[in-house]
Amino acid sequence: MARGTSCARIAATGDAAPSSLPSDIGVKLTGRLAGITQDGRAQFSGSLRNMCALSDLKMRRLLELLDEWACANGLDGAVAPPDRLPPTRVEDAPPLGMDLVKSGIRTIIWASGYRPDYSWLELPVLDRKGYVTHDGGVVPAPGVYLMGMQFLRRRKSALIDGAGDDARDLSAHLAAYLDNAAQRMSADRV
């Protein structure tokens, strides 16, 4: 899935065939929500087909890369043969708008992805894309640190299990920063 984009993906079980259109099982795929009109009509971007194709392409490339690695490392015989899902099936003309009440929509599932928003942070520490600039969680502003980000210091940094290790590292950095600040303040008083 591309950063900052959304594309719905349906995993069906039971009587639904994997190649079924989502609408065959009562699901309506739409593009990214672009807005709501004053009369309560939802408006969607027209990118659903492209986003789903891009998502399928990225997944296929990742799985091929993993298969190549397994083969190159002699593991291809130790695991089941590759299993690939068929491409995501999308209506020929996905809706660009929908009256949710008249369409009988009773449930909405948001598959929105995640993109952090630091617009509230009033410090000059954001890069051109709006992300906090840091080196392993150490932000280039005195006493400011970052935690819980993907691959902050480790692969597990964004997980609860990884936060402890990162917190220990960053607390050591913070303690050294505070010691240095205290020493500078003491030296200034003399």
CB 45, CB 7: distance < 8 Å: no
157-172 pLDDT tens trace = 888 778 888 888 888 8
pTM passes above 0.85: no
> What was the pLDDT predicted at 23?
60
d(CA 172, CA 108): 45
What are the structure tokens assigned to 43, written together? 């408006």
Whether 3 has a pLDDT exceeding 80, the answer reads no
110 by DSSP, 3-state: which? Answer: coil
How far apart, in whole angstroms, are the C-alpha atoms of residue 59 and residue 1?
Answer: 8
Q: pLDDT tens for residues 34-80?
A: 888 888 788 998 888 898 899 899 988 988 888 888 889 888 777 77
Please list the alpha-helical segments (H only) found in the chain.
Answer: 48-72, 160-189
The pLDDT tens digits of the residues spanning 14-26 come to: 344 444 556 666 6
What local confidence, expressed as pLDDT, does residue 142 receive? 84
In this structure, what are the phi and psi dihedrals at residue 75, rounded to the nearest 5 degrees? -100, -5
Structure-token pair, residue 168:
């220990």
Q: How far is CA 72 from CA 3, 12, 27, 68, 78, in A?
A: 30, 33, 41, 6, 13
Cα–Cα distance for residue pair 135/144, rounded to 1 Å: 11
Q: Which of 82, 113, 97, 111 lies closest to 22, judged by CA?
A: 111
Q: Give the DSSP H or E segment for 99.
A: strand 97-99
DSSP string, 133-158: P-BTTB-SSTT-B--S-TTSSSTTTT
